[in-house]
Amino acid sequence: MQLRALALAAFAAASFHAQADTVALWDFNTFSCASACTDLPKGVTANGGKMSMVGGATFTSAGGSGTGSAFNTTSYAAQGTGDLTRGVQFMIDTSGYTDLVLSFSQRNSNTASAWTALQYTVDGSTWLNATTFLMPSAKSATFVDGLSFDFSGILDANNNESFGIRFLATFAPGTSAYLPTSGTSYGTSGTIRYDNVLLSGTAIPETAPIPEPHSYALMLAGLGVVGLVARRRRAA
């Protein structure tokens, strides 16, 4: 009966640790800025995180996916120039977490680049390509929710204070030009909105400290005393 209870407790503990925790979240719900914006929104993070703009991209607030606001980016590079040079960046300390998964919502205006690249860093300076996202033209007036990327296979992303991601406008694959989200015209004033940028992960279980040698000696001495008392009680 005791063994069964212990097994159930161990299973419950394992299930708890398997649940995803929020490592960082930018939902932008309270963000409000209509023009000449300089103060970037702050997210809710487990260890710390910071947003920044990449290249000459600028930002304002706009209607979000559901309630609240979203982060609206614009001022992208001219057609045929600046591939992977403008967008938004999130540095996120993932210390204490593993099995990282990114999810977010995105909405493009018609003249924005239909293709967005997701890059990541594990050293804070070298950026690697993770994947690209194509915004369908039918969605040019609404958010695409549930976009995601699973970082669990990238072991260096785990437990890393120098981890970061960024979203950048990129040329259509195999070309040297931006593809507009809808229609035939790409423009530098096209807008890309981001909302509910969430990095989740699994907390690394804390391990019990290994006793020092003198602690072992005290433990053995204590067990010896307990055994001696037990023998005396049996003899009595």
The structural domains of the chain, ordered by start, are 19-203 (2.60.120.260)
pLDDT in the model for residue 141: 78
pLDDT in the model for residue 232: 57
Separation between Cα atoms, residue 4 and residue 54, nearest integer Å: 56
Structure-block tokens of residue 38: 């300089």
DSSP letters along 6-63, please? HHHHHHHHHHHHHS-EEEEEE--TT----SS--SPPP-EESS-EEEEEETT-EEEEEE
Residues of the chain short of pLDDT 70, as ranges, are 1-19, 208-236
